[in-house]
Amino acid sequence: MPETAVSWDQLLWGTLILRPYVFIFLTAYLCLATWHLGLGQSVIYLIVGYSIAWLSEFSSIHTGFPYGWYTYIPATRDQELWIGGVPFMDSLSYVFLAYASYSLALLLLRPYQRCPQENSPPHSLAPVFLAAVLFVTLDIIIDPLALRGYRWFLGQIYGYPEPGIYFGIPLSNFAGWLLVGVMLTYFLQRLWAWSPPFAWLARGRRSFPGVAFLGAGLYLGVLIFNLSLTFYIGETLLGLVGLFIYLPVTALALASWYQARSRGLCSEK
Give the tens place of pLDDT for each residue, 159-181.
999 999 999 999 999 999 999 99
Per-residue H/E/C for 36-82: HHCHHHHHHHHHHHHHHHHHHHHHHHHHCCCCCCCEECHHHCCCCCE
Q: Under a CB-based contact definition with an 8 Å cutoff, are residues 102 and 127 in contact?
A: yes
Q: 256-269: per-residue pLDDT in tens?
A: 667 666 665 554 44
Domain limits, the chain: 14-263
Under the banding of pLDDT at 50, 70 and 90, the label for residue 8 is: confident
DSSP state of 148: T
Distances (CA, A) of 43 to 142, 154, 201, 231: 25, 26, 9, 34
Q: Under a CB-based contact definition with an 8 Å cutoff, are residues 215 and 105 in contact?
A: no
Distance of alpha carbon 28 from alpha carbon 37, whole angstroms: 14
Residue 110 has pLDDT above 80, yes or no: no
| Distance, C-alpha 175 to centroid of its chain | 16
Q: Under a CB-based contact definition with an 8 Å cutoff, are residues 45 and 192 in contact?
A: no
Distance of alpha carbon 37 from alpha carbon 184, whole angstroms: 15
> What torsion, rounded to 10 degrees, do the Cα atoms 25, 31, 33, 37 define?
160
Q: 114-167: per-residue pLDDT in tens?
A: 454 554 555 688 999 999 999 999 999 999 999 999 999 888 899 999 999 999
Predicted TM-score (pTM) of this structure: 0.89
Residue 209 has pLDDT above 80, yes or no: no
